């Protein structure tokens, strides 16, 4: 691998990470063996620049997601208060919930509670028909 010029190393890495090319295609284009290209892709020193770019891209995505979460929370609030168009309600609600979920915004479990319904005069008749064997 040390016989590969710096120019070919950089081209191989750029073709893989920026161009989305497969190692075999990169090897053919640069006149290298596929194993050499694979070794270049496994070299931690050569990958450092792309690791930093990847971390920066993830950070930018998280920032955008967090900014979207505020708008999504506002949509959810409008939906709860009935301020949204009835037809688009389901789509808006699902999209807003998805954004909030991805941003890590969750309702704390301690605020969730079971609902108990009691009837003043006892339970009403359910009106469930009998089974096929009931006569």
* Torsion sign across C-alpha atoms 86, 87, 90, 94: negative
**Maximal CA-CA distance, the chain:** 91
Report the predicted TM-score, pTM, of the whole model to 2 decimal places.
0.44
User: Residues 53-89: pLDDT tens digits?
Assistant: 888 888 888 888 778 877 777 777 776 666 555 566 6
The band of 11, judged by pLDDT with boundaries at 50, 70 and 90, is very high
Q: Where are the alpha helices (DSSP H) in the chain?
A: 6-17, 23-30, 34-41, 44-80, 89-102
Residue identified by tokens 């108990």 is: 116
Domain locations in the chain?
1-42, 58-105
Q: Is the pLDDT of residue 22 over 90?
A: yes
Q: What is the mean pLDDT of the chain?
A: 76
- For Cα atoms 113, 89, 99, give the angle at the middle one, nearest 5 degrees: 70
Please report, for residues 5, 17, 41, 52, 132, the alpha-carbon distance to residue 48 in angstroms, rounded to integers and kept in the order given. 18, 12, 11, 6, 72
């Amino acid at each position: 691998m040390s016989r590969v010029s710096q120019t070919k190393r950089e081209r191989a890495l750029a073709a893989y990470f920026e161009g989305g090319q497969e190692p075999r295609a990169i090897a053919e284009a640069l006149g290298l063996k596929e194993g050499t290209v694979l070794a270049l892709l496994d070299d931690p020193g050569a990958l450092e620049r792309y690791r930093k770019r990847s971390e920066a891209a993830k950070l930018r995505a998280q920032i955008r997601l967090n900014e979207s979460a505020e708008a999504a929370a506002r949509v959810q609030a409008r939906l709860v208060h009935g301020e949204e168009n009835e037809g688009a309600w389901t789509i808006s609600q699902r999209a807003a919930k998805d954004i909030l979920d991805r941003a890590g915004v969750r309702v704390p479990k301690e605020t969730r509670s079971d609902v108990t319904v009691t009837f003043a005069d006892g339970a009403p008749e359910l009106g469930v028909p009998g089974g096929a064997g009931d006569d």
